Amino acid sequence: MAATDLDRSPGLRRSALLAWLLAVLTLLFLAVGASVGSTGWESVLRMRDDATSWQIVMDIRLPRSMGAWLAGALLGLAGAVAQGLFRNPLADPYLLGSASGASLGSALGLVLMGSSLTSLSLVYRLGMTGMAFAGAACAVGLTVVLARNVQNTLRLLLAGVIVGVVLGAVRDLLELRHPDILQAMQAFTLGTSAFVGWESCALMAAVLLLCALATWVCSRVLDGLSLGEATATSLGLPLTQLRYGLVAVLALATGTSVAQTGLIAFVGLAAPHLVRSLVRVGHGRSTLLAAAMGGVLLLAADILARWLVAPQELPVGVLTAALGGSYLLWRMHRSTGIGGRR
């Protein structure tokens, strides 16, 4: 069935219902996120009359919750693009080496600017964000150069794996040379939204809007590729140019998210799977739904990470890895069981 037929099917109505459900869940989780902390609901109830409570809610909890949603949305969108571009349901946003590049950039930033991720200096935060994003962008660029082009997706995947391994080794050597950055790098590699502020939210929102628009424009390529390389070529689509555009979207979305919250596993892999299990529409709509699903998943995980062992908290990346891995194992078991009965 062609992508245009899919968009006219009852799946369109289901996608609208899913979009409304995700919007409601987002608002609900943002409200819950504003109340989760050492002082609980007290800060929310007293924020009108108490300046400290106002600051806790408006300057710490809300930007953190909004930042978690935006980072998850970027990963969900990047995961949907990666799975459509490589025609592989196991593709995730980190396949092109962006995670290793961002980690190396962050390690270099810590060596150059200091070994603490808790600094409140705006210049320091912007510098660390810029280093992480530059590392991710350079890694993806190096992957494309090694692959020589974006036509051969298998070659691109292999180049991404090689770049990721090499840059990861360089980061490990840097950590051995400067052991004072190990603790800060641990927070980055485990993933956390604790250091996200309103400036980071504004940056991620702008990048998310840009990537969503670009993906919508390029969605016909993803729809065509889902029907096969020959079919996509026969449709007269400029595959090479639009593939480069999709790789750029993948790098920009992943690099921005990783630069703000560190490495968070399985959100970019699980969000598109969940959307596909609930609705059947073309890539234009499914990618946007995957972004919203990723935002809801990471925001819910961030709330759980703050609440489960309060007043301490778990690294959100560890929680998403455990929950996401369990979900995918369940899906594999269910699919195997259904196939066996047939």
- Give the Cβ contact number of residue 222 at 10 Å: 24
The pTM (predicted TM-score) of the whole model is 0.87
Q: Are 292 and 76 in contact (CB under 8 A)?
A: yes
Output the pLDDT for position 294. 95
**In the prediction, which pLDDT does 282 show?**
82
Query: Lowest-confidence range among 68-77, 118-127, 253-262?
Result: 118-127
Tell me which of 273 and 232 has the higher pLDDT: 273
Q: Which long-range contacts (CB under 8 A, 24 or more apart) does 202-206 make?
A: 203/129, 203/256, 203/260, 204/67, 204/70, 204/71, 204/74, 204/256, 204/257, 204/260, 205/70
Q: In Å, how far are 89, 222, 269 from 292, measured between CA atoms?
A: 18, 19, 14
Higher pLDDT, 124 or 41: 41
- Helix axis angle for 267-278 and 11-35, nearest 10°, is 140
pLDDT of residue 5: 46
Query: What is the DSSP-derived secondary structure letter of residue 338?
Result: H
Q: What is the arithmetic mean of pLDDT over 278-300?
A: 91
Contact criterion met (CB below 8 Å) for 279 and 286: yes
pLDDT at 209: 96
Q: How confident is the model at residue 6 (pLDDT cuts 50, 70, 90)?
A: very low
Mean pLDDT, the chain, rounded, equals 82
Confidence band of 232 (pLDDT split at 50, 70, 90): low
Q: Could you give the CA distance from residue 220 to residue 55 in angstroms, rounded to a whole number?
A: 46
